[in-house]
Amino acid sequence: MTDLELTGLTAVRLVEGYRKGEFSPEEATRAALERADRIQPDVNAFVRLLADEALTQARESTERWRRGAPLGPVDGVPTTVKDILLLRGAPTLKGSKTISENGRWDEDAPSVARLREQGAVFLGKTTTPEFGWKGVTDSPQSGVTRNPYDPTRTAGGSSGGAAAAVALGAGPLALGTDGGGSVRIPAAFCGIFALKPTYGRVPLYPASAFGTLAHVGPMTRDAADAALLLDVIAAPDSRDWSGLPAAPGSFTTGLSGGVKGLRVAYSPSLGGQVAVRPAVAAAVRRAVERLAGLGAYVEETDPDFTDPVQAFHTLWFAGAARVTQQLGAHQRKLLDPGLREICGQGARRSALDYLAAVDVRMELGRRMGRFHDSYDLLVTPTLPITAFEAGEEVPKGSGHRRWTGWTPFTYPFNMTQQPAATVPVGTDGDGLPIGLQLVAARHRDDLVLRAAHTLYEAGIGAAGLTPAGS
């Protein structure tokens, strides 16, 4: 099998090949590293490649597979880690010039630790905006990350490097973080799958300054790979006081069953609150019609809430102010100007302002809880637009001030802590990917994954998606 063929395989297919002796983890890792080197000048997906370490891990994995004794279901699979999460032996700079590379860097985040225990191969750290603060990926520390389909466009963010790497074959598994859409936004722009699990399903340490808005989630080629990854990383860790107990069963096993009989609410524009581009609306509607054809009971209806953006801004801006609170005047000058601006706004919010935003959040959670008494799934566009100019926080001429202006379908479900995923459902007239969002009640990650897997099996998830650099 050629390197190009190896980099095109899912994690599930790689593990099957290891088991059958068709190829080795060392071969797959060399191919992924070569791919990462090739794409880096065009898309800037990585802040750090760990070639020597990855090849050592891959050789060890190859020997385990030769003996028939893999450590777990992801043994030998090339994997990337967003540079927000700790990876032992590599600096975690979070896109910021205010963090020094000097340090011990001797601890793994919980999700990374679970992957290491089961033999995953770590290719490197992927790009993020500074402290993951916005919905596109550019930072003072690592520059601009670009879209695999058109390098003049953004990859989205804040897990933009992870999305670009997966889309272009530099490792089929990626760890991202999502505080307002940050795995779903770049996945939708880059034509891959991503899941923001129920809050606490994947433990997080150190705790995020953005509090319980922040989730760790898988970014992958398809839903089956995401289920495989979630089976590994959704394990309790004592360092996360808010983490959930172990899931009752395997997410991979739960993929089967289809969507027949599921009650699906389809909301094309959140009750007319969102202006959605016609190409996006049409692609999402076609996929929803396919769900109906596969046996789901689909009703066009809207969840009962108005845009909670002001409350989200209070929570988000206060978190940004907190993460930069200890910086001196010189360090503050090094910050992304947009981040510096929202930190100032967040610092001016009072405790009463923050608690009022928490009240909005709790009411939104109550409304969505009641909504899911009647519907198993909510379907929306992931984003109302496709990828725009790289290096910009908002599309030129849009009139938006902040990234939340063009992400109205994503951040509400961070406030409610619900599982939400994005599935690629086609492209627009410029060949740019379009995403469909699936949302379920808290703790029903299995339903989101099952519906997404059904779309992939029906040929929806990969329709027409071929990155320009592949």
What is the residue-level pLDDT of the chain in tens, covering all 470 positions? 888 899 999 999 999 999 999 999 999 999 999 999 999 999 999 999 999 999 999 999 999 999 999 999 999 999 999 999 999 999 999 999 999 999 899 999 999 999 999 999 999 999 999 999 999 999 999 999 999 999 999 999 999 999 999 999 999 999 999 999 999 999 999 999 999 999 999 999 999 999 999 999 999 999 999 999 999 999 999 999 999 999 999 999 999 999 999 999 999 999 999 999 999 999 999 999 999 999 999 999 999 999 999 999 999 999 999 999 999 999 999 999 999 999 999 999 999 999 999 999 999 999 999 999 999 999 999 999 999 999 999 999 999 999 999 999 999 999 999 999 999 999 999 999 999 999 999 999 999 999 999 999 999 876 446 676 66
Is the Cβ–Cβ distance between 281 and 288 less than 8 Å?
A: no
pLDDT of residue 264: 98
Question: Cα–chain-centroid distance for residue 84?
Answer: 12
Length of the chain, please?
A: 470
Asked if residue 464 is part of any domain, the answer here is no
Asked if residue 468 is part of any domain, the answer here is no
Number of domains in the chain: 1
Catalytic residues: 82, 158, 182
**Domain containing residue 7: CATH number:** 3.90.1300.10
Asked whether the whole model's pTM tops 0.95, one would answer yes
Q: Give the domain extent around 204.
A: 3-457
pLDDT of residue 464: 47
Asked if residue 466 is part of any domain, the answer here is no
Asked if residue 462 is part of any domain, the answer here is no
Asked if residue 465 is part of any domain, the answer here is no
**Which of 189, 133, 95 has its CA nearest to residue 402?**
133
Asked if residue 236 is part of any domain, the answer here is yes
